């Protein structure tokens, strides 16, 4: 997409490396496409970033990556299974959760960072949580989980509310980074050629159980975690925030006033809170 070509050009102009990487998934056929942004220095901490359902390695995270780079982090972002026009994996819920483990293992081997962190939005955050114990053994020092739902149910009123929230001033200031066409989210069959979802069967019931299991059978881990939610989120509601607060009592929690599920990735307060948390480690 044109927005990402512009993003790459701006990073290169600022002196950063922009490298595309393709690697095989360990538990299924297909390859994953990921991107490294930053300086070729192992002393610069690396953030492995996992996107939300129906998105890809970039959308809608350009402003997040820019802030990470400005604050002396490198970034590796990748397509989750079944996502991304440049990847060839399928969304198989039996193997889906290990996608972040593969990404971290690849990043450690390829970039050799002295420090490594995980940041996940929505589904990406859920998968980081689901693998918190394994990731800790791989040396992941801390996790930031943004807008992680405890269910995948949302009504039409919620969908309309979330969609309209994209036209708020705090979001529209980022429109020049994307352009009008690339700014629009994929939904249903809309824009699925650009942001596809590849699946061989009906995965939604299993996906729902994945979220619910995080509440009822959370993995044990000593990894520091920070949850960040928006108080106007219609998918990852205050009930999710409260539920994860009980399941992970030692985790830090932060609520952004007025933010929805779709607007939180654009929110500067959320980005600043994420960076401040990671810098403690």
| Interval 163-199: pLDDT, tens | 999 999 999 999 998 988 888 888 777 778 888 889 8
8 Å CB contact between 77 and 65: yes
Say what percent of the chain tops pLDDT 70: 97
pTM equals 0.94
pLDDT at 56 over 70: yes
- pLDDT tens, residue by residue, 206-253: 777 777 776 666 667 889 999 999 999 998 888 888 888 888 889 999
Instruction: Decide if pLDDT at 200 tops 80.
Output: no
pLDDT value of residue 216: 65
- The answer to which of 12-21, 48-57, 93-102, 106-115 has the lowest mean pLDDT is 93-102
| Residues 26-40 pLDDT 10s | 888 899 999 999 998
**214 and 247 in contact (C-beta within 8 Å)?**
yes
pLDDT value of position 228: 97
Question: Edge to edge, what strands does the sheet with 252-256 contain?
Answer: 17-24, 31-38, 74-78, 46-50, 116-121, 140-146, 225-230, 252-256
């Amino acid at each position: 997409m044109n927005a990402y070509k512009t993003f790459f050009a701006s990073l290169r102009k600022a002196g950063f490396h922009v490298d595309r990487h393709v690697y095989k998934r360990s538990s299924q056929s297909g390859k994953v496409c990921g991107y490294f942004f930053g300086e070729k220095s192992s002393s610069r901490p690396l953030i492995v970033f996992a996107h939300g359902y129906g998105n890809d390695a970039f959308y809608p995270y350009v402003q997040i990556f820019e802030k990470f780079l400005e604050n002396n982090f490198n970034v590796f972002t990748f397509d989750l299974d079944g996502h991304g026009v440049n990847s060839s994996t399928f969304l198989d819920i039996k193997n889906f959760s290990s996608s972040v483990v593969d990404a971290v293992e690849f990043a450690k081997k390829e970039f050799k960072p002295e420090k490594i962190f995980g940041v996940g939005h929505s589904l990406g955050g859920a998968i980081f949580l689901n693998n918190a114990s394994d990731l800790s053994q791989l040396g992941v020092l801390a996790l930031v989980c943004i807008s992680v739902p405890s269910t995948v149910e949302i009504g039409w009123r919620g969908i309309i509310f979330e969609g309209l929230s994209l036209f708020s001033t705090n979001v529209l200031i980022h429109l020049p980074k994307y352009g009008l066409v690339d700014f629009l989210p994929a939904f249903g069959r809309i824009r699925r050629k650009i942001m596809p979802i590849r699946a061989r069967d009906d995965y939604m019931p299993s996906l729902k159980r994945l979220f619910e299991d995080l509440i009822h059978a959370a993995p044990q881990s000593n990894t520091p975690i920070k949850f960040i939610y928006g108080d106007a989120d219609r998918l990852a509601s205050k009930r999710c925030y409260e539920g994860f607060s009980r399941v992970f009592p030692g985790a830090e929690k932060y609520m952004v006033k007025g933010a929805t599920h779709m607007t939180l990735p654009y929110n500067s307060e959320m980005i600043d809170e994420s960076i401040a948390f990671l810098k403690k480690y």
